[in-house]
Structure 1
Amino acid sequence: MSAGEIPLNGSAAAKRKGTTTFSARTSRLFFETATPSDIGDIKTKIEADFFTSEGSETYSNSARLRLRHAYGSVGNWLAGQTWSNFMDLSGMPETLEFDGPTGQAFIRQAQLRYTTALTDKQTLSVSVENPQSDARDNGGNVTAIDRGPDVTAKWQLNGDFGHFAVRGLYRPLRADDGNGNNQAQTNGWGMGVGGSLKLGANDTILYQVNAGEGIGRYIMDVYGSAAYDASTATLAKQQAIGGYVALQHLWSPRLRSTMSFNATHINNKSGYGDISGLNTDTRQVHSNLIWAVAPQMDVGVEYIWTARKVEGGAEGTSSRVQGAAIYRF
């Protein structure tokens, strides 16, 4: 469960404490190829998992296959569905929680990307990616219109210290009143900085900050990038910031831990109906211990504390212990 979905204090869901769940839905299947050609190796990857809400624990416990990655690359070019270029994969902390920390830049989508090496330690990548104007309005009838792609750019520096990355995002946001009339348009944007810092042979700090106006779905637990007003046909951009700082420690060659503090803050635009139930703050702590039983098997346990606050002032907190057995083959 993500930080933006935990029950609020006093709700029926919050009173249902002490629940237990077992699941294998995070299992993945993937297939990769590399084919030599006159223009370089043509690489492809298809990956899927079962992390959907479909199925029933009552009688079959089934879950459908879900597409994660499907892309090809050759030379400097990549086309297909994979992690957004706005993400910093090298700076993500290791968590047993499948959704990862709140506040991180986290999204997979179809894209066309170009990556080039500026020096032996610097890379620059730019992409056009699938748009989705995640807007909301008072009446609930707003319809998103996507006429142009989202655009991202990322510069990354790698070195003995770790790495440092700066990322940028531009989003054309457009919506109408649900009837194809009264169209409104604005431009969303986002910036992100982050990286890793090695403190020695056994310790690494990971950090990330993401912020913007209309950045919406590009930050974990931030939804509804803009608010639509049908009476004036305008879109008011939501302001949001999120990020984390984490410490990864190696206790021994086979034993490791990660502790992270993660948070988001969202400024929902007022004047577009009742916003009292919209998230304004999420906070989260992850602390785990993972044992590499064998080269292809990990066993771990993780404690997760989460807090959520909505615009109306209501709050909720959650404590959870999660275990995992991870097999690779």
Structure 2
Amino acid sequence: MEIIKKTIVSTLIFGLGLSSIGLAQSEDRTDSIRKDSLNLIKKIVPEGDRKENNLLNTGTDLIDESFVGSWPMFGTDLRMKVGGYFKADFVGDFNGTLDNSQFLMSTIPVEGQPEYGNSGYVNFFAKESRFNIDVRRIEQGKVPLKLFIEGDFFNDETRFRLRHAYMVVGNFIFGQTWTTLSFLEAMPNMIDFAAGDALYGGRTVQVRYQKKVNEKILLAVGLEQLSFLGIENPDELVGKAIRKMPLLALRMDYSWKTGILFMGGSVAQLAWDGGLNGISPNALQINGAIAGRQYYSGKRGYFTFGMSYGQGAGENIIAFAGSNANAVLSANGLKTIPALSSSLGLNFKWTDQWASNIHYAYGWLETPADRDPFALKRGGIGHLNLIYNPIKRISTGLEYIWGAQRTTNDSFGRASRLQFMTKFEF
């Protein structure tokens, strides 16, 4: 397996070198330009550099008479479009990570676990493939409306799974979609499904008001379902984690011709219900986040960054979701856990058909000693890829992924894998 690993990584590096030679020889450098999620005039955004293809616009930004690919719903003032993509993936894992379809920090085996030292394996799957329906009313003089539903099959049983289900009425968003503080533009284009492992955010049900103040500034405020309560109960005290209030999130986007900056914060309440015989403490969850994207060399590429820090908000970082990373319960009450995430990324377009992305994400928790000894304490994951678009809508690529994690008891593990994909977007 080690020989295969070295051979494939060498091939990837060699491919990057050949692409750079091709760039030096190329005389015709054309590119397509479209507007980003803020729909700002003269914004430099190369086609196909987003992880999500559907933009969450509100208000007059929805008024786009072209609505490419849509058709009228006869007898109504609505138009409908179907979209999505098919994606086939091949994974060659070198260290036996515990999830065979996405590379997560928490699934890297560490010293002391029975899985540590596992052999590598291969896996083929197509469950990231997704399908969506987009219905809009975009007539001038009427309140803009949108209904969007999307699902994929990314679970162990490859059953249909709901990703997005929301409606837009003017400047209001109701339903399930990316949280207010999910800054997707702060990531380059990666093949691994868990590419945003240190991304702050995720998807949840919410009510959000989102409006452009001018051509540079967008403001948003959201009330959201706290998806992961995240309370560790090492002493097995009676009761359960509950929700008493929604999460409140505030966000501002500031955009200029060659870049965009995101800033925001959130506050929520963590609560435990001990019933008649137990304790019922509360704690404050608070977090701040900043992220951005800056283009360079015209439309040839961009770099990205993101950072978040909070108290009791560890599970809002995707890498820690579902691991009881917000607080620890004891007889003295709830003790919140400080959490940090950071990431850096770089995209470069070698030619009109070849592009590369590199990204590194890091997550950290200041965990108390009484937390689960093998719970994720800190870790980092890197991605390096080469993606080829031979024709419009078709892409294929190769990505090398590496990472490491350290657990509460200071056990350490590292792993790597290679992932190849072919994708058709519609």
TM-score by shorter chain over 0.5:
yes
The whole-number CA distance in structure 1 between the counterparts of 2:283 and 2:356 is 43
Q: Is 1:321 equivalent to 2:424 in the alignment? A: no
| Cα shift readout 1:165-219 (whole Å, capped 9, x = no counterpart) | 1010111110134777311101101110110011222121100001100112211
1:170 to 244, 267, 272: 267
* SS in structure 2 at match of 1:252: coil
* Separation in 2, partners of 1:98, 1:7: 19
- Normalising by structure 2, what TM-score? 0.71
Residue 42 (structure 1) aligned with residue 145 (structure 2): yes
Contact 2:247 2:268 (8 Å CA) reproduced:
yes
**Does the alignment pair 1:255 with 2:354?**
yes
Q: Larger relative CO (CA 8 A, sep 6+): 1 or 2?
A: 2
Residue 156 to residue 212, structure 1, CA distance change in 2 (3 Å): same
Instruction: Assess if the C-alpha contact under 8 Å between 1:102 and 1:282 holds in 2.
Output: no
Question: Are the equivalent residues in 1 in contact too, given 2:234–2:372 (CA < 8 A)?
Answer: no
Identity of aligned residues (%): 24
Residue 225 in 1 paired to residue 326 in 2? Answer: yes
Residues 1:240 and 2:240 aligned together: no
**1:183-194 alignment runs, 5 A limit:** 183-194=280-291
What amino acid sits opposite 2:416 in the alignment?
S
Cα drift, residue 10 of structure 1? 5.3
Q: From the two aligned structures, give the one with the greater strand fraction.
A: 1
Deviations 1:39-97 (A, max 9, x none): 4221010000000123xxxxxxxx21100000000211110000000111221221111
Alignment check: 8 A CA contact 1:9 1:317 kept: no
| Residue 292 (structure 1) shift | 0.7
Given candidates 203, 208, 211, the residue that maps to 2:301 is: 203
**Aligned equivalents of 1:198 and 1:180: distance in 2?**
58
Alignment of 1:59-208 (within 5 A): 63-131=158-226, 132-140=228-236, 143-177=240-274, 181-201=278-298, 202-208=300-306
**Higher helix proportion:** 2
Q: Which residue of 2 aligns with 1:278?
A: 375
Alpha-carbon spacing, 1:327–1:210, altered in 2? closer, same or farther (3 Å): same
SS at match of 2:124: coil
**Is 1:102–1:242's contact at 8 Å kept on the other side of the alignment?**
no
- Matched to 2:147, the amino acid is T
Change (3 A) 1:10 1:187: closer
Q: Is the 8 A contact 1:304 1:321 kept in 2?
A: yes
The 2-side partners of 1:292 and 1:42 are apart by 34
User: Residues 328 and 371 of structure 2 are in contact (CA less than 8 Å); yes or no, is this contact kept in structure 1?
Assistant: no
Q: CA deviation at 1:277?
A: 1.7
Which residue is equivalent to 1:58? none
Residues 23 and 187 of structure 1: CA distance in aligned 2, closer, same or farther (over 3 Å): same
Offset of 1:161 from its aligned partner?
Answer: 2.6
- Whether the 8 Å contact between 1:245 and 1:261 is mirrored in structure 2 is yes
- CA offset digits 1:215-254 (Å, max 9, x no partner): 122112124201111x23x110010101110100000011
- Per the alignment, do residues 10 and 236 of structure 1 end up closer, same or farther by CA in structure 2, a change over 3 Å counting? closer
**In terms of Rg, which structure is larger?**
2
2:309 aligned with 1:214:
no
One-letter amino acid matched to 1:119: N
Partner residue in 2 for 1:302: 399
Is it true that 1:51 corresponds to 2:146 in the alignment?
A: no
CA distance in 2, matches of 1:184, 1:10: 34
Residue 284 of structure 1, CA deviation: 1.2
Q: Which SS does the other structure have where 2:165 is aligned?
A: strand
Q: What is the identity, as a one-letter code, of the residue corresponding to 1:14?
A: Y
Contact 1:102 1:243 in 2 (8 A): no
Match of 2:386 in 1: 289
Counterpart-to-counterpart distance in 2, 1:67 and 1:267: 33
Aligned pair in 2 of structure 1 residues 275, 199: CA closer, same or farther (>3 Å)? same
- Cα 1:288–1:140 shift into 2, 3 Å: farther
Q: Taking structure 1 as the reference length, what is the TM-score of the superposition?
A: 0.92
